[in-house]
Structure formats: C-alpha cells, structure tokens
Chains A and B, each alone.
Chain A
C-alpha cells in the first residue's frame, strides 16, 4: 500500500508538469491578447507597455518564461500574479475554493443519495410504471444542460422573478452571510447541479443492481431465509462499490470548477474564476486554475483507489 501511494504521487507530479507545459504551449500557440497591453490599462504609452512587459518577464524567450514559471512554482509554490488585476493567483484560488466546495459537497450528497434511492427502487420494481417513469425522467435530466435547466428553474422558482417564488435565486449566494444563510441560497444551484448526476447515478446503480441481483450469492442469501430488504442490502453492497469510483472522480472534476452552475447562479467559485480568466486571456490565472483542477482530479482518484481497497476486500495493492 505504501509503495503504491508513493508511486501514485510521483505519477501525479509528472502529470501536473505535463499539464502545465501543455497549457503554456496552447496559450502561446493560439492567438490571444497581449498580456502587457491588458495590464497597462486604457491608452497606454508604448514605453509603459514595454516596462510592464519587462516587469512580467514577457520580453524573455518562451522557454525561459516557462522555466521561470516552473521555478517559482516548484521552489516557492508561487503561481504568479494575474495579468489582469495583479492579484496573487494562489490567494485568489484559495479565496474562491470554499464557495465551490460548499456548492459541490451539498450537490454531491443530494445526487448520491437520490441516485441510490431511485436506482434501487427502479431495479427492484423493474419493468413497472414507476421504473419507467423514473428512468424516463432520468433520461430527461441527463439530456438537460445545466445552463438551460438553471434558467428554467430560476424562471419557475426563484423568489425575485419566479412564477412560484419559493427559493433564493441568482446572486443570492453572494449576498448571503453565514453557513445556513448560504446553504439556503444554494438550494437551487444544488438541485440544478445534482439533477444530471443523480440521473446518471440512478441509471448506473439500476443496471449494477440488476446484474448483481442475478448473482449466485443473492440466491444464497435468499436460500438462507433472509427477508427481502436484507437480500437487497446484500445486492446494494456490491452494486454501490463502482459508484464510489465515479463519485470520487466527479467530485474531483467539479472541485476544479463547476463552471456552468457557478456562472448561471453567479457564485464566485473556481469555475467562475477560470471562466473569467479564459475570457480575459489571463494566462497566469488559467495556468493556476488548470493546475488546480488537475491536482484535484489526481487527488480524488488517489483517494478513490485507496478507498476501494477498504470497500472491496478482494482489492489489494
């Protein structure tokens, strides 16, 4: 187990290096605004632009720029400063992180529980009208894009412009204070973000469950005289394990930014941050958020792999 983790961490470091090189390469290959011009403000003098260029290190060759960036990153854990407003990238990311984490953790709990409940019921009542309704509904939710669903839900339920003003709407999160207030403001984003995932998880669990319930050990459980719910528990124990893998990776990806949800509901999270950085051509910020996303995914998959050894006793590293 120990050597496995060390190996995985080394791979993660290599992967992060590759990702930052690729990000750097793409940014420099694609036409984009001149960062120095961005920083200089309105109607700058050529001298001022030149000074900024020098200050940012943009006058150096591309490989040298990359080397400097990597040196600062590796030796000082310094992600640099935004080209646009000169704030520290690292600080900004950690400022925004709590918002993203709050959004994702709530949504993940909702979609995981909903997925399990719906998937299990659907599998047990296979072929029934309930099953068809739930799986049909799941298909609709999977197909509904977040930006569309977000707008529809806002139109229907938000308390400022909704037809049935039940829930705090767009922008409520930014004005909310305190844990519970913020949680209240997040109900709608949670539901919107969770819906597609819940639908995917429900379908996944249903098919896992149907497969597992045909296993010999389920027949053994019934032959022991166990009541129906115990038999289902035996099945769920096996069917749920693959879902944990998917959950870990999904959460990892979303920690790197739930771009659509954060944008629709004006939540100042990592996703919104990287969206803004991309639209402004802010390379330092893009590098920072991309690396952060990669790190989150790598860590999540490492956690999932370690967790798996506890969930499935047959797995050994």
Chain B
C-alpha cells in the first residue's frame, strides 16, 4: 500500500539579497496512515520549512521548490493554489508553535472555528457552530458553547493550543502537521497536549508529523524519526533504532546533550560545540563536519555524503562517511560514558571552521538549553 504522504527529494531554496538560502535540500520521507513521524532538528535545520512546503505555505516569488510531495497520489508541489486551498485545513491540517500568536486576537474563537469548518464543509452556520462546539469539547475545553464567544486572550496557553488542535481537526484531516506544538507551553501542559494529540490520533486514525527540537517529545509519541541538520535529513529510521542505535554524530550530540534521569546529577551535559552553519554558505561535504568531533579530514569535507542504510536495518538510513561498524563502537563508548578512542567529544572544533555566519536565526538554540522536558523518559526503547 502506498504511504499517505510521500516526500521525494524535496528542495526549497529562497533567493534573498544575501544569497540563496538552501532551506531544505533533498529531503525524502513518507508517512503511513495513522502513523507518526517525528522530525527533529535545531532552528534553521529546515524542519519547519519542509512541512510548510507540504502545505504549500512557502510559495513565494523568491522561492524555488523542486521535488515531489505526493499526498494520496496528488503532487502538492505542482498543485494549483486553488487545489492547495482544498487540501489546506481539509485533508492536511497544521498546528503551530505559539498558540497565542497563531489565533487572530480580534476574532472570537467560535468565529475562527466556524470559518475553518465552513471553508471545507458545505453546512449551515448553525451546523458549523455545533461542529465547532463538538470539537472544542473533544479537545477537552469545558463549557464549549459558552467558550465559543470568548476571545483568544481569554484562554490560557494550553487551552489556546487545544483550540488550535480543534481547529486543525474539525474537518477530519488525514494528516496533522504539528510544528513544535508544545514548545511555548509549560512542561505539565506539554504532556497534556501530547496526550491529547495521541488520543485524537488513535480515535480519528490521523497521521501526524511532529516537528520538534525536543527529543523527549519524539520519544513519547512517534513511530519514525527523521533528524534534520542544515536542510538535510542526516538520519532517519524507526524510533527504536534511533534511540537504541543512533549512528550519526549529530544524533549522538543531541542525545548526549539531554539531561536524563538515570545519570548522576552532577554529570555535566555535553553540548554540541559551535554554531549551526549558514544556510547560504554551507560547509562542503557533510554539513556537520565543522562541528563533528569525529570528522575525518579529506573524507568528510569533500564530495556529497549520501543517505545510506545502516548495517543493522535497511529502514534506518544515515548520512555519514564513517563505516557503520566504527559508528556502532563510538556510540557504545559514548553511551557507557567513556570517551571514544582518539577523539575528544567535548573539545570545540578548530576555530576557523566555526566562523560561519548564522543566517536564519540570530540566536541559534543549542539543544542543551532547550530541552525542557527533564521528566520525559529517555530510557532505551
């Protein structure tokens, strides 16, 4: 059976005054009906842009989009704008990071929901209001009929995100794209929202793409994981493989920079040294090599590093020149808390290699600082 969504070699470039921003570069993944894909990466890794492109929301005069986004057999890259309008908010819905700014502050919540319902269903206003109230109650908002008349600022952050989810799900989408749905929320509320998405997903059999920089989130809810760095997928595979046998040095960096409950309290976290590279002037070869403690001069910094299946499982693909057996050995050492032979993972890479300008975001988030979900279980799956 063909997957619900298949992204093939998707590339998104923006022509700007400073140069061409390679936001997404040859990204491929697929999601089956009812399954969850987690896309992990730091700011500017292209994870949001790739999913906004699935929705056709990155179309602009200065954007070059190539590749294919096959949704139920329809290519959304070449679809017309009016075809996309039918898809957006209908079979594919999207919810965003900041529920405060994602709802229009001057329209009542009910109005915004009814608008979404009536955009895709030919129903009367009162039927749409009933549907909206039903959705609000489904996402756990008490007294939904009365809350329809409230404005977004009269809701708490978590409640607003519930409203966003209700809005996304009101037309029974086949796929929900959640772009960092819990980042702006308190930890306790984060857990509630994730539970809600999971529950609704199983009730409505919706596929979910969960975009996040929080590995705790993907550990909770996903089936497959794609790790993105600098516009590319560097590692992709089933969740169990990614957590038990990660093979890309960037994934190692992400995993070792997260606080865990099963490590001593005084053990220091290992952040990934350096800054994310500019998407305009990307490092040659493997884009991660300037920050990679295992980088091999002459191998990593030239040519195109391909995404290749790992030795253990064909579904688990990695973009790294280090042989699979060596990668397994390095990870085994890292997991045991030892320093792998011949390398010092804590040492910053040579200075000239980090002198790349950050373009997309002025303040790149390092994973160590934005892993708020301390309580999330990150034990080996």
Contacts and interface: CB of A to CB of B under 8 A. Distances in A.
> Closest 6 A-B residue pairs measured CB to CB?
A225-B89, A224-B89, A225-B88, A216-B101, A217-B104, A313-B151
Contacts of B102: 216-217, 219-220
Nearest to A224: B89
Interface string B60-86: 000000000000000000000000011
Interface hub of A217, A221, A238 (most chain B Cβ within 10 A): A217
B57 A224 contact: no
Given A221-B104, A313-B151, A314-B151, A216 B96 contact: yes
Interface in A7-63: none
A58 B240 CA distance: 98
Interface string A201-222: 0000000000000011101111
A312 B151 CA distance: 10
Given A215-B101, A217-B103, 6 more contacts: A217-B105, A220-B102, A223-B57, A225-B120, A237-B104, A313-B153
A259 B88 CA distance: 54
Interface string B138-153: 0000000000000101
Interface hub of B88, B106, B119 (most chain A Cβ within 10 A): B106
Interface in B91-148: 93-94, 96, 98, 101-107, 115-116, 119-120
Interface residues of B, number: 27
A139 interface: no
A313 B106 CA distance: 6
A314 B103 CA distance: 13
Nearest to B100: A216
B167 interface: yes
A227 interface: yes
Nearest to A127: B61
Nearest to B84: A225
Given A312-B106, A313-B106, A219 B119 contact: no
Given A216-B96, A314-B151, A314-B153, A222 B105 contact: no
A151 interface: no
B46 interface: no
A223 B85 contact: no
Contacts of A216: 96, 98, 101-102
B307 interface: no
Which secondary structure dominates chain B's binding surface?
mixed
Nearest to A316: B153
B55 interface: yes
A230 B107 CA distance: 13
A96 interface: no
A216 B183 CA distance: 15
Nearest to A237: B106
A216 to B, nearest CB: 4
Which secondary structure dominates chain A's binding surface?
helix
Contact of B57 (A222, A227, A237): A222
A220 B57 contact: no
A225 B153 contact: no
A234 B151 CA distance: 15
A88 to B, nearest CB: 47
A133 interface: no
Nearest to A218: B104
B90 interface: yes
B87 interface: yes
A226 interface: yes
B167 A224 contact: yes
Contacts of A312: 105-106
Contacts of A220: 96, 102-104, 164, 167
Contacts of A215: 101
B156 to A, nearest CB: 15
Nearest to B81: A228
Contacts of B107: 234, 237
Contacts of B116: 224-225
A224 B94 CA distance: 8
8 contacts: A223-B94, A225-B86, A225-B88, A225-B89, A238-B104, A238-B105, A313-B153, A314-B105
Given A219-B96, A314-B151, A225 B90 contact: yes
Contacts of A222: 57, 88
Nearest to B57: A222
A223 B55 contact: yes
B289 to A, nearest CB: 34
Nearest to A241: B106
A230 to B, nearest CB: 8
A224 B151 contact: no
Given A219-B96, A224-B167, A234 B104 contact: yes
Nearest to B177: A223
B115 A224 contact: yes
Given A215-B101, A217-B105, A314-B105, A223 B151 contact: no
Contact of A223 (B88, B115, B120): B88
Nearest to B117: A224
A173 B254 CA distance: 77
Contact of B93 (A223, A241, A313): A223
Contact of B87 (A225, A227, A230, A313): A225
Contacts of A241: 106
A314 B155 CA distance: 12
A228 to B, nearest CB: 8
Contacts of A225: 85-90, 116, 119-120
Contacts of A226: 85, 89, 115, 119
Interface string A301-317: 00000000001111000
Contacts of A227: 85
Nearest to B170: A224
Contact of B101 (A217, A224, A311, A314): A217
Contacts of A234: 104, 107
Nearest to B108: A313
A224 B103 contact: no
A230 B119 CA distance: 11
Contacts of A223: 55, 57, 88-89, 93-94, 96
Contacts of A313: 105-106, 151, 153
Contacts of A224: 88-89, 115-116, 119, 167
Interface hub of A219, A227, A312 (most chain B Cβ within 10 A): A219
A226 B55 CA distance: 13
A166 B207 CA distance: 67
